[in-house]
Amino acid sequence: MTGSKKLDVAGLLQAKLKELDADQAASADSRAPVALDQQSVGRLSRIDAMQVQAMAEAQERRRRGERHRIELALERLSEGDYGYCAECGDEIGLKRLDFDPAIQTCIKCAGRAN
């Protein structure tokens, strides 16, 4: 992989991290605890709010997982290991990396994992 391609990938991964940060900040209110005061909020509204909170928390867990994958990809990029399968050490196909720059395994190893 050329130096300019590595810079492109690093920029793409950094942009994705910023996007995840923005999404996290935007959903902070949805993850806040639900008030249990029945005088101000009815029972069904509270159930709806709890469901929205649960979905926002699930999205946050997925964001944390994606952030971790991106950070690992940036680490591999800085160490010179980017583009090589974490399982077998073979090169990961460029089309696969273009589809998901944070991917860690080649197509063969990904197939074995399922």
For residues 46 and 93, membership in a common domain is answered with: no
Predicted structure pTM score: 0.75
- Per DSSP, the three-state class of 39 is coil
For residues 15 and 39, membership in a common domain is answered with: yes
Query: Using CA atoms, how far apart are residues 104 and 110, in angstroms rounded to an integer?
Result: 9
pLDDT in tens, the chain (114 residues): 666 787 899 999 999 999 998 988 888 777 777 666 655 556 677 788 888 889 989 999 999 999 999 999 999 999 989 999 999 999 999 999 999 999 999 999 998 865
Domain enclosing residue 113, as ranges: 83-114
For residues 25 and 67, membership in a common domain is answered with: yes
Within a 10 A sphere around the Cβ of 35, how many other Cβ atoms? 11
For residues 64 and 29, membership in a common domain is answered with: yes
For residues 72 and 21, membership in a common domain is answered with: yes
For residues 54 and 70, membership in a common domain is answered with: yes
